[in-house]
Amino acid sequence: MPDWVHARRREIGNRIRDARLDAGLTQMQLAERIGRDHRTIHRWEYAQRIPDLSDLLLLADALDTPLAVLVR
């Protein structure tokens, strides 16, 4: 994978974490809202995995933030 891909994954993870914190949610609370395990949220936030489009849509809805804010 090119370095820029890893950098973008980290940026997306940071945006997810920032939006979650702005919403006042823990990883556990966010996971419950979107029907995922809290370890999955952790993996996304720390760029160990990247959410697919369906998960990004669920995240944007649960965090009340536009999808574009998470992935720009």
Please write the tens of the pLDDT for every residue from 25-37.
999 999 999 999 9
- Domain map (residue ranges) of the chain: 3-71
Residue in the structure block whose two tokens are 């370095």: 3
d(CA 13, CA 71): 9
pTM, whole model, 2 decimals? Answer: 0.93
Please write the tens of the pLDDT for every residue from 35-51.
999 999 999 999 999 99
DSSP assignment string, the chain: --HHHHHHHHHHHHHHHHHHHHTT--HHHHHHHHT--HHHHHHHHTTSS---HHHHHHHHHHTT--HHHHH-
What is the topology classification, in CATH, of domain 3-71?
Answer: 434 Repressor (Amino-terminal Domain) (1.10.260)
